[in-house]
Chains A and B, each alone.
Chain A
C-alpha cells in the first residue's frame, strides 16, 4: 500500500485493499485452514473477510494494526465456522486441495515440503481448541503473546504457558508420526 506517512491517515481504496489481500492472503489462508481443518472453508473465510472489508474500508494508518485486525477477523470467522460445523470431513481429504505449487521449486522438494506442511497442519488441528488457536495466531496470525492474551482475555504468561504446552504436544505428535512413517 502506498503510504506517505506511517503515522498519518491513508486512503484505503479497493486497489489498496487488493494490495492488502495480496500481502496477507497466504498467511490468512494458512491461519483459517489451520483453525478449520479445511482449505475450502479457509478460502471462503478469507474471501468473506475482504468482501466485508471493502464494503466499509476507512483510513488505515498502520500496517501492523491491519495485519492483526485481519488475523482476528479470520480467527473469529473460523471459530464460528467450527462451532457450526457438525460433521467435518477427514483432514486428509480436507488438505488434499492444499496448494504449495511454486514454479521455481524442484518438484521433489516441493512434494516433501507439501507433505510436511500438511502433516504439521494436521497436527495443529488435532490440538485442543485453545492450544490450536494460540499456535495458529502465533505463527500465521502474526500476533504477539500480549495480543493473544488480550484476545482470549487472559494474561500474557498464561498465553505463553499454553503455547509451550501446545508445542510440546506437537512435538509428541510429530515424533509419533515419524515413528509410523
Chain B
C-alpha cells in the first residue's frame, strides 16, 4: 500500500466497503419472506433515540453472544415502540428460548366424562413425558422414534420402536409446533385476566399441521403463554394450561429404561409408514370388531365422535395396553371412514347396529353405496361384507 497522509487514509477508509455475497442476500431474503411484520406503535422521537442507544448498550453489554439475539430484539422493541406493549413477535421470541415446558392438556368436549387431562413435559430435543389419569405414563423420544408405556398400577412396561424412523418434517409436539408459529398471520384479541394474571391474546393459523388455529393468552409480565387453545383440522378443541417453562427436569423422567420392578410385557416394533393410508371399508370393519372386543357384547349406538367418546370410560376400564392401543387406532380409522361417507349424500350411509349381537350373521350393521357404484356394501354382525342391490337392502331403523 502506498504511503498516505491522514486525509488520504480517511478517504481510503471511507471507500472500504465489503459486498455481501449472493448466499447472504438469499439467506436474508428467505428469512424476511418467512416472517411478517406487525404494524403498531410509532417510532420514537429523535430525542428518544439517545435513550434507546443507551438502553441497547446497557442491555447488549450485559448479555453474552448466546443472548445477543435477545439484546437485538430488546433494542428493536425499545426503538420501535413508543410505550412498551407486548407483541406477538415478543412471544415467539420468548417461546424460542424455551427448552422445557410442562403443561396440562385437556379436551373440553370430554369434560362430561371421567378426567382425561394429561400432564405433559416436553423438551426441545424431542423428549416427551405424559402422565394420564389412571396411572399410565407414556415417554416418547421423537428424535429416535421410540416410546415407552408404563402402567404404574400393574407395574408393566411396553416398548414401542419404529424401524426406519425419521424425524417428522412437520412438528409433532406442542413445543415444536409453537416454535414454528409465524408472526405473519396473527390477529390481536385484546386483554383478559386468566388465573389472576393480566394476559394478552393472539390468534395464529398454521398450515401443514393438524393443529390449525391457535388462540394464545400470554402473561403480560413474562410474555409466555398462560393458556393455549388449539383447534385441530378435525374441529377438535384442545386446551393447554398450567404452564411451567424452563424448569429443571430430572433426566430420569425421560429414561427409556423401565423402573425397577416393572415387567416388560411386550416389545412392539413397527415399520415406518411411508405414506398415510386413507381409511377404507376394511378399517370400518376392523373398527367395529375392535369396539365389540373392547366393549364386549355390543356395538356403538352410532358411529360418531360423540358416541365413541361416550364409550371411553368403558374402554379405559380395560386399561391402556397394546390391545387397547391397536383397538383405538382401528376404531378411530373406522370412524374417519364413516365421517367421509356421511359427508357425501350419494354414499347413502346407514347404521343399524344398535342391539345387534357381535357374530350375528343375519343382522346388518351398516350399509353404504361406494363412490360411483350402483350396488351397496352391507356389513353384517359377523363382520362379513356383501354386495347388495338397493331393492334388497335391510330396513333402516327409524330415527
**B-contacting residues of A (Cβ < 8 Å)?**
9, 11-14, 17-18, 21, 25-27, 29-30, 33, 39, 42-43, 46-62, 65, 68-69, 72-73, 76-77, 79-81, 83-85, 97-102, 113, 115-117, 119-121, 124, 135, 139-140, 147, 150-153, 167-168, 170-171, 174-175, 177-178, 181
Contact = CB atoms under 8 A, between A and B. Distances in A.
Nearest to A49: B72
Interface string B79-109: 1110000010110110000000000000000
Given A80-B60, A170-B9, A46 B35 contact: no
B43 A59 contact: yes
B37 interface: yes
A19 B375 CA distance: 63
B54 A150 contact: yes
Interface residues of B, number: 67
A96 B9 CA distance: 22
Given A46-B24, A77-B72, A153 B57 contact: yes
A76 B18 contact: no
B56 interface: yes
Interface string B1-28: 1111110011011111111110011011
Contact of B9 (A55, A84, A167): A167
Chain A residues touching B, majority SS:
helix
Interface stretch (B63-71, B112-120, B225-233, B356-364): B63-71
Contact of A58 (B25, B43, B66): B43
A27 B18 CA distance: 7
B75 A72 contact: yes
Nearest to A27: B17
A43 B17 contact: no
A52 B69 contact: yes
Interface in B270-298: none
A57 B38 contact: yes
Contact of A175 (B3, B15, B61): B3
B278 to A, nearest CB: 38
Given A29-B18, A73-B75, A80-B63, A51 B31 contact: yes
Contact of A26 (B6, B14, B20): B20
B13 A120 contact: yes
Contact of B37 (A9, A12, A84): A12
A56 B90 contact: yes
A48 B65 CA distance: 12
Contact of B76 (A56, A98, A140): A56
Contacts of B17: 26-27, 30, 117, 140
B204 to A, nearest CB: 13
Contact of B56 (A11, A73, A174): A73
A52 to B, nearest CB: 4
**Nearest 9 Cβ contacts at the A-B interface:** A76-B60, A84-B65, A58-B80, A56-B89, A57-B37, A80-B68, A55-B89, A52-B72, A80-B65
A116 B16 CA distance: 8
Given A56-B76, A167-B6, 10 more contacts: A50-B32, A54-B31, A58-B38, A59-B39, A59-B80, A69-B75, A76-B61, A80-B68, A100-B18, A101-B19
Contact of B19 (A50, A52, A100, A175): A100
11 contacts: A27-B17, A30-B18, A43-B24, A47-B24, A48-B69, A62-B43, A69-B79, A76-B75, A80-B68, A150-B54, A151-B57
Nearest to B37: A57
Nearest to B16: A117
Contacts of A121: 16, 18
